[in-house]
Chains A and B, each alone.
Chain A
Amino acid sequence: MKFQKSVRIKIPEGIEFSMPVADPLIRGIAFLIDFFVKVVLSFITYVFTGYFSILFSDMAQTIGLISGFIIFIWYPVIFEWWWRGQTPGKRMMKLRVVDARGLNLSFSQILIRNLLRFVDMLPMGYVLGGCVALFSRTGQRLGDIAGGTVVVCAHKVFMPNIEELMPAQYNSLRDYAYVTARLRQLTSPQEALLLANSILRREQLEPQARLKVFGSLRIHFEQKAKYPEKLTLGMSDEQYIRNVADILFR
């Protein structure tokens, strides 16, 4: 089982939400993408200043030096500010820098977390920052600790369409109102969650495993409320479970 670190934030309204902390490997890939973007930008600047230097040598060198400074030092600060905690690399890897308390990022936090790269990079290749992040509960490098920031997975969450999950169809089990009511009464939220997940993830299962899972679930739910045998005799295990889910969630 894969263990993923997460940041848990409890808000005054009494609820708690969590954000999954970015995996160090994914962060590394995002860093490499950013590095590649920086190299490409530097190359473009180099070509531009190369042509420019034919006319104005001193000015071309100045532009080259300053743009190099901006590209390699200020690149993450500028992007994280305008894209609210994302650089091109982070955006591609669906990562985001967020405030450790769940608030919006401030410019001070962005600046400090990036200034402290100078120390995180020591002695070379982010060894110090990487070691600190590995031992940190929330995967924070020194810059993140000082800035009060965390890098989290930023997958966009959309509202699921219930109709798509369970299309409205005729459900023969509903004809037996008494048994149906008993089934709803005896099913716990945990059991219902298990049932919902088995339906949602059924396509990920191997055919044999799929038969086995739905067979076991059917036995379990049949023990709770027994529908007449004439009704369920020709019904497949999966269809039976889908009908039970329809009863529970609709």
Chain B
Amino acid sequence: MIINMQEFSARGQPLWDELDHELILLSDNPSRQLSLKQVKRLHYLYSRTCADLSEMRTYGVERDICAYLEALCARAYAELHTMERRRFINFHPFEWLSRTFPQAVRRHYRKLILSIALTVMGAIMGSTLLVVDPQSKDVLLPYAHLAITPSERVIKEEQSDSNTYKGRKMSGSAWYMIHNSKVSFMVIASGVTYGVLTFVLLFTNGVLLGAVCLDYIAAGESLFLTGWLLPHGSIEIPAILLAGEAALILGAALIGGRTRLSLAMRLRQALPDITTIAFGVMLMMIWAGIIEAAFSQYHEPVLPYWFKISFGVVQLLLVLWFFCFCGRKGAAKVFNAGENR
């Protein structure tokens, strides 16, 4: 049997056109709310078009009509079956910052602990290497501003006045923000290597941090070190650790472990949290960039160390409070609602 194309087309065309029109409306206005009647109609049109495609494939021979119906069914399927809407219109920044972000971080706390542990191990390794072989400093700290002795740097920095960075503050902040964001994005992307490169990056970062700290502590410049690193480090280092956490989430989703879910499903589950953490990290890096350019680079006598250290300590405590306690109430409510269902 071969379909009478004219009859088939005349019968189906109005329905296909109506479905096409509805899909264009939905695509142009993603936040459009449909009534129950409209949803039922849309589903009916979709089912009819699917049935027509099926009939066409079995009895028909017109390849162009088949391709047209396939494209129509694919579009309708995507609109009807996608759970996540284009929600930027309904995006609430405060809600996201106070609940979504800290909750996403806490949900994967084991990966965060692993990220911290890798950095700490790296720091121990870096400081140990510097103690065992002081000549290794050139290799461990290959940066111009760290090549001179800590005491020399402290003298140099303390001699500079408040005009040293005049006219460069804003661009300096922007440079730090962009550089730090790129580094954290690189760390997140490293998760695709099943977390292997993430391990290397976090450990290397720890080695660098440990070597710098020990270098300054051994030279008796602990006060300068704390005043220099704490104001921006209290937000920048946690941001790097969170980037490591996001990378490890990605790595874990790729590996799979004990779960029976397919790779696609595992990744689909992990993506929203990775995205949330990535954005949070970027915000933290923007703030760290501002602090680093406007605050960290000024030392005594321009800015007293006690002030810088106090600022850093308060900021660190706020960061800890934010990630440990912020959004807990909301999470409990959601959990209870889930239980009641």
Q: Give A residues with C-beta under 8 Å from B.
A: 9, 11, 13-15, 17-19, 57-59, 61-62, 65-66, 68-69, 73, 84, 99-104, 106-109, 111-112, 115-119, 142-143, 145-148, 157-160, 162, 184, 187, 189-190, 192-193, 196-197, 200, 248-250
Query: Top 3 closest A-B pairs, CB basis?
Result: A61-B171, A108-B271, A160-B64
A250 touches B5 (CB 8 A): yes
A62 touches B173 (CB 8 A): yes
Report the minimal beta-carbon distance from B313 to chain A, rounded to whole angstroms.
29
A19 touches B2 (CB 8 A): no
A-B contact pairs, 14 of them (CB 8 A): A15-B57, A66-B177, A66-B178, A101-B264, A102-B74, A104-B86, A112-B250, A112-B274, A159-B13, A159-B65, A160-B64, A162-B9, A190-B61, A249-B61
Contact indicator per residue, chain B 80-106, by CB within 8 Å of chain A (1) or not (0):
011010101000000000000000000
B9 contacts which chain A residues (CB < 8 A)? 162
CA distance A59 to B172 in the complex (A): 10
B275 touches A104 (CB 8 A): no
B59 contacts which chain A residues (CB < 8 A)? 189
Binds A, one of B189-197, B222-230, B327-335: B189-197
CA distance A100 to B271 in the complex (A): 14
CA distance A58 to B2 in the complex (A): 74
CA distance A117 to B185 in the complex (A): 10
Residue in contact with B68 in the complex, picked from A73, A84, A142, A157, CB distance below 8 Å: A157
B192 touches A146 (CB 8 A): yes
Q: Size class of B's contact patch?
A: 35 or more
Beyond A14-B50, A61-B171, A146-B192, 8 additional pairs, beta carbon < 8 A: A15-B50, A103-B82, A108-B272, A118-B186, A119-B193, A142-B192, A189-B60, A249-B4
Contact indicator per residue, chain B 172-215, by CB within 8 Å of chain A (1) or not (0):
01110110011001101110110001000000000000000000
* Interface core residue of B50, B54, B61, B63 (most chain A CB under 10 Å): B61
B159 near A: Cβ within 8 Å?
no
Binds A, one of B118-126, B144-152, B162-170: B162-170
Report the minimal beta-carbon distance from B19 to chain A, rounded to whole angstroms.
12
Residue in contact with A100 in the complex, picked from B50, B54, B190, B264, CB distance below 8 Å: B264
A116 contacts which chain B residues (CB < 8 A)? 189, 192
CA distance A11 to B82 in the complex (A): 13
B74 touches A162 (CB 8 A): no
CA distance A145 to B192 in the complex (A): 9
Residue in contact with A249 in the complex, picked from B62, B70, B74, B171, CB distance below 8 Å: B62
A58 contacts which chain B residues (CB < 8 A)? 167-171
CA distance A169 to B47 in the complex (A): 35
B192 touches A119 (CB 8 A): yes
Total A-B pairs, Cβ < 8 A: 161
B16 touches A159 (CB 8 A): yes
B6 near A: Cβ within 8 Å?
yes
A148 touches B185 (CB 8 A): no
A19 touches B74 (CB 8 A): yes
Report the nearest B residue to A68, measured CB to CB.
Answer: B178
B77 touches A11 (CB 8 A): yes
Residue in contact with B275 in the complex, picked from A73, A108, A200, CB distance below 8 Å: A108
B73 touches A15 (CB 8 A): yes
B271 touches A147 (CB 8 A): yes
B132 near A: Cβ within 8 Å?
no
Residue in contact with B5 in the complex, picked from A107, A157, A249, CB distance below 8 Å: A249
* Interface core residue of B6, B54, B88 (most chain A CB under 10 Å): B6
B250 contacts which chain A residues (CB < 8 A)? 112, 146
B4 touches A250 (CB 8 A): yes
Report the minimal beta-carbon distance from A180 to chain B, rounded to whole angstroms.
13
Report the minimal beta-carbon distance from B284 to chain A, rounded to whole angstroms.
16
A189 touches B61 (CB 8 A): yes
A159 touches B68 (CB 8 A): yes
B25 near A: Cβ within 8 Å?
no
B177 contacts which chain A residues (CB < 8 A)? 66
